[in-house]
Every structure is written in C-alpha cells, then in structure tokens.
Amino acid sequence: MPGQRQSVDAIVIGAGIAGASVAAHLAASLRVFVLEMENQPGYHTTGRSAAVFAPSYGPDGVRALTRASRPFFDNTPADFATASLFSPRDILMIAREDQLDALDALIASVSDGTLVEKLAAPRLQDHQPLLRSGYAAAGMLDRGGQDIDVAALHQGYLRLLRARGGRVITNAAVEGLSRQGGDWVIETRTSGTLTAGIVVNAAGAWADRIGRLAGAEDIGLVPKRRTAMVVAEPANFTRRDAPITVDVEEDFYLKPDAGRLLISPADETPTVPCDAQPDEMDVAICADRIMTAFNLDIRRIENKWAGLRSFVADKEPVIGYSGVADGFFWMAGQGGYGIQSAPAAAEVAASMILGKPLPSGTVDAGFDPSRVAPGRLAVAA
C-alpha cells in the first residue's frame, strides 16, 4: 500500500512469461513479489506471441534452452495445466533460388540433433498446398515444431507462484531503484516502497530503463516492433495441420490458426518501449509478400496487432547477475524466443540467483552460461 514499506527476499520486475516463470521457481525458496506496470500480466510481448515451439530457431544458446525446455512441454505436470501445452505443428523454411545459400547455412547450423530435412521444390507443396508453384526452390522441414498454448503456460506459472506464497502486484510501475544497507529499495507509482535483497529485471522492452535506474551496465537492448494479422482461409483449404511456413531470411511467415491464417511480414523495426501498434505500411507490405508467395487473394484484414521483441547485439538472451550492481539480476533480451525457451531459462535463472548448480537437463542440452552472461556484452562493446 502507498506509504507503507514492505520487505521480501526478491522482487521480480515484469509479469510476462520471463518474470512469471522465474518468480514461480524462486517462490519455492524465497518470499517473492512480482511488480507489473500494466493492469494485467502478459499484456505486451507474452500476450502477442505467435505461439510456436521451433527447435531450429535462434542462435546457439537459444536452441540449447529450447532443447532443454522440451521435456517440460512433453510432460507438463498435471497440476500445472489441465491439458497439453503442445499440439503438433511442423515448421517449413522456404527459399527462393537466390536464397539457397541462406538455406544451406541454416541447415548446416542445425547440427544438434534437431529433426530437419531438406526438401526439393516438388515436395514443398505436399506440405504447404497454398505455396505458389515455382516460388520456392527448396525448403527445410523441421518436424520438431509444435504450437504452444501460451496462455495456459503463462497462467500455469502464475498459479504456481501464488500457490508457493508469491504475489503479483499490478499497476506497479517502478519509478526508483536504490541500494541501501545491502538491500534494494524499490519505489513504485501506486504501491509504495518495497525492499528486497534481490531484484530480477524481467521488464521486457523496458529492461534497459530498469537497468539504468539500478545503475547496472548498459546491455544495448533494442525493442523491435513485429506486426501480425489474421486473414480468412481460402474456401477450399482443408490442411489446418499444415506447417507454419517461414521465409528463410524471415521476410514473412504464414500459419494456420483456429480456422484462419496468421500472417506477418516478420518485421523488426527498432522502436522505443511502448504499447506497440501496427503500422499501415507494414500491413500492406505483409499482404504483398504473402500474396507473392502463396495462392491467396487478401481482400480484408480480420484483425491486426503488433508486439515488441527485444534483442541485444548477438540475439542471445541476457541471464545473470550484474557485474556492477550488487543483487541485480538480468532476465532480458529474449527476442522472439522467450516462450519456447521459458521453462529451461527460468530454471537456469533461478539456479543462478540461488547460487545452485545449473540443472542437469540444460547442461546435457549443451547450454553454456557464458553465452547469456551480461558481462559478454561489455566485452563486445
């Protein structure tokens, strides 16, 4: 309450998937509050995700965390979610003739046991019947893909957090962070002052701002807007199990989604942290790219939105204690990979925060903590 000072062991800033998941793990050992600036958790990036588990997507560290997350998705505890978080969805990366080098480079980079297969042009339409004949010269099929029930995953972590005694405080934008007597003092807009020994920065696109308030290192986080929209399926389209189809250089994607088609220009427009909205130029670009690659005549956009995906220079996440601000922990820069890697990333972060060994599953998956350490960015700068 305003005017009162509450004290806990750890404050997590941000109640999206990153904040909710790490807070749920920490709450098994610590008294934890989660501060969310909006009136509901997951309003920004988490609530606007394309909801795909893509083992071949992302840089090496991300792929390792994704592999390590698979057992949780495959064997979700019954008290975490009432139904499976997964439903099958292959991923088809397609390449025009001029993109074949990029496709070969992608295939060569996936040397970690991911189930991928290179497809010649005649086989592409067997998997994606909407693809225009002659558009793509080859493709890569990733059979390890899945659709993720993002809402169920997020709510599962929030329930687990509360069951372990943790608390989420909404409308609690952080306005001040200072270190006093070995603790962090956190000033919020509406919830007064809180103190904690540990602050976990899971503030998404706002993580750099929180880092500056704390006097932490600059990680060079850049929020980037991505646009998505929903259009009608063709009247004769029956392959709702068709793969999400992605341009190998990420110029667009198309995914069957609940009787409609989810499409995107896969834009990454640098912006300031904000409540992202779709730009009409991006909407037009998307429609043009999709109609060029697929046998679709888009006459009406049924729904459109935008979200922010935040990256540092190497596109790996940033997970670890600050090297300059004691007790300040980074959980940021998840980009477009935060949902699929959330289970393992949360376990890794909680282990680091508590000073425990890394989970054996992440080690076995080839995860190297130096790839996500905040200090790597200072060295690279």
pLDDT in tens, 345-369: 999 999 999 999 999 999 999 999 9
Residues of the chain above pLDDT 70, percent? 96
* Structure confidence by residue, pLDDT tens digits, 159-168: 999 999 999 9
Q: Report residue 335 as tokens.
A: 């980009």
Residue 315 burial (10 A CB sphere; 0-12, 13-18, 19+): middle
Beta bridge partners of 294: 131
Show the domains of the chain with their CATH numbers: 5-50+150-220+314-380 (3.50.50.60), 91-143+222-311 (3.30.9.10)
3-state secondary structure of 229: strand
Q: Cβ(92)–Cβ(246) under 8 Å?
A: yes
Question: 145, 14, 24, 42: which is closest to 81 by C-alpha?
Answer: 24
Euclidean distance between CA atoms 364 and 3, whole angstroms = 48
* Structure confidence by residue, pLDDT tens digits, 181-232: 999 999 998 889 999 999 999 999 999 999 999 999 999 999 999 999 999 9
pLDDT at 53 over 60: yes
Radius of gyration of the chain (CA): 21
In one-letter notation, the amino acid at residue 38 is E
Q: What residues contact residue 279 under an 8 Å CB cut-off, 6+ apart?
A: 225, 227, 269, 306
Give, rounded to a whole angstrom, the gap between the first and last alpha carbons of the chain.
Answer: 41
- For 148, phi then psi, to 5°, come to -110, 135
Residue 42's pLDDT band (cuts 50, 70, 90): confident
pLDDT at 2 over 60: no
**pTM score:** 0.94
pLDDT at 381 over 50: no
Please tell me the predicted confidence (pLDDT) of residue 114: 67
Question: 219, 178, 215: which is closest to 195 by C-alpha?
Answer: 178
- For 133, phi then psi, to 5°, come to -60, 130
Please tell me the predicted confidence (pLDDT) of residue 24: 99
Q: What residues contact residue 241 under an 8 Å CB cut-off, 6+ apart?
A: 88, 89, 256
Please tell me the predicted confidence (pLDDT) of residue 1: 46
Mean pLDDT over 165-172 rounds to 97
Q: Report residue 327 as tokens.
A: 């007790």
Please tell me the predicted confidence (pLDDT) of residue 378: 65
Q: Cβ(145)–Cβ(243) under 8 Å?
A: yes
User: Taking CA 14 as the corner, what is the angle to CA 78 and CA 283, rounded to the nearest 5 degrees?
Assistant: 95
pLDDT at 330 over 80: yes
pLDDT at 173 over 90: yes
Mean pLDDT over 327-338 rounds to 97
* Structure confidence by residue, pLDDT tens digits, 225-283: 999 999 999 988 888 899 999 999 999 999 999 889 999 999 999 999 999 999 999 99
What's the whole-number average pLDDT of the chain? 94
Would you give the DSSP letter of residue 358? P
Mean pLDDT over 172-187 rounds to 96
